[in-house]
Amino acid sequence: MTERRRYPSDLKDDQWELIEPMLLEWRRVRAEGREPTTDLREVVNAILYVARTGIAWRYLPHDLPPHTTVYGYFKEWERDGT
Protein backbone atom coordinates (compact mmCIF):
# COMPACT_ATOMS: atom_id res chain seq x y z
CA MET A 1 0.00 0.00 0.00
CA THR A 2 1.29 3.46 -0.79
CA GLU A 3 1.84 6.00 1.94
CA ARG A 4 -0.91 8.57 2.23
CA ARG A 5 -0.77 11.97 3.83
CA ARG A 6 -1.83 11.89 7.44
CA TYR A 7 -5.05 13.50 8.63
CA PRO A 8 -5.07 15.39 11.94
CA SER A 9 -7.50 12.76 13.27
CA ASP A 10 -5.15 9.81 12.54
CA LEU A 11 -3.83 7.73 15.42
CA LYS A 12 -0.30 8.42 16.51
CA ASP A 13 2.03 5.42 16.73
CA ASP A 14 1.88 5.23 20.54
CA GLN A 15 -1.92 5.31 20.46
CA TRP A 16 -2.03 2.51 17.88
CA GLU A 17 0.35 0.42 20.00
CA LEU A 18 -2.18 0.55 22.85
CA ILE A 19 -5.12 -0.82 20.88
CA GLU A 20 -3.44 -2.94 18.21
CA PRO A 21 -3.18 -6.15 20.32
CA MET A 22 -6.89 -6.04 21.20
CA LEU A 23 -7.97 -5.50 17.59
CA LEU A 24 -5.64 -8.17 16.22
CA GLU A 25 -7.02 -10.65 18.76
CA TRP A 26 -10.58 -9.62 17.82
CA ARG A 27 -9.74 -10.22 14.16
CA ARG A 28 -8.08 -13.59 14.90
CA VAL A 29 -11.21 -14.81 16.70
CA ARG A 30 -13.60 -13.44 14.06
CA ALA A 31 -11.66 -14.34 10.91
CA GLU A 32 -12.73 -18.01 10.86
CA GLY A 33 -9.97 -18.97 8.43
CA ARG A 34 -10.36 -15.98 6.10
CA GLU A 35 -7.32 -13.97 5.15
CA PRO A 36 -7.75 -10.34 6.31
CA THR A 37 -7.42 -7.72 3.59
CA THR A 38 -8.16 -4.49 5.42
CA ASP A 39 -5.62 -2.56 7.49
CA LEU A 40 -7.23 -2.20 10.93
CA ARG A 41 -5.29 0.96 11.71
CA GLU A 42 -6.76 2.58 8.60
CA VAL A 43 -10.24 1.45 9.67
CA VAL A 44 -9.74 3.14 13.04
CA ASN A 45 -8.32 6.23 11.32
CA ALA A 46 -11.42 6.39 9.11
CA ILE A 47 -13.75 6.05 12.11
CA LEU A 48 -11.87 8.84 13.87
CA TYR A 49 -12.09 10.97 10.72
CA VAL A 50 -15.88 10.60 10.68
CA ALA A 51 -16.09 11.31 14.42
CA ARG A 52 -13.91 14.40 14.17
CA THR A 53 -15.37 15.92 11.01
CA GLY A 54 -19.00 14.84 11.39
CA ILE A 55 -19.25 13.77 7.75
CA ALA A 56 -21.53 10.99 6.53
CA TRP A 57 -19.82 7.59 6.12
CA ARG A 58 -20.17 7.66 2.34
CA TYR A 59 -18.14 10.89 2.18
CA LEU A 60 -14.97 9.30 3.52
CA PRO A 61 -11.97 10.33 1.42
CA HIS A 62 -10.94 7.82 -1.24
CA ASP A 63 -7.54 7.21 0.34
CA LEU A 64 -9.21 5.57 3.35
CA PRO A 65 -10.88 2.14 3.22
CA PRO A 66 -14.34 1.98 1.58
CA HIS A 67 -17.12 3.48 3.68
CA THR A 68 -19.05 0.20 3.66
CA THR A 69 -16.06 -1.64 5.14
CA VAL A 70 -15.39 1.01 7.76
CA TYR A 71 -19.04 1.23 8.78
CA GLY A 72 -19.23 -2.57 8.97
CA TYR A 73 -16.32 -2.67 11.43
CA PHE A 74 -17.78 0.23 13.39
CA LYS A 75 -21.18 -1.45 13.75
CA GLU A 76 -19.62 -4.80 14.72
CA TRP A 77 -17.32 -3.17 17.30
CA GLU A 78 -20.26 -1.18 18.65
CA ARG A 79 -22.41 -4.31 18.85
CA ASP A 80 -19.84 -6.47 20.63
CA GLY A 81 -18.42 -3.74 22.86
CA THR A 82 -14.98 -3.61 21.26
Domain boundaries, the chain: 13-29+38-80
Encode pLDDT of 30-72 as tens digits: 877 778 889 999 999 999 999 999 999 999 999 999 999 999 9
Which of helix, strand or coil describes residue 68? helix
pLDDT at site 69: 96
pLDDT at site 2: 57
Answer whether residue 25 shows pLDDT above 70: yes
Answer whether residue 1 shows pLDDT above 60: no
Question: DSSP H helical segments within the chain, as ranges?
Answer: 13-31, 40-53, 67-80
Count of alpha carbons within 13 Å of 54, Cβ hemisphere only? 0
pLDDT at site 62: 94
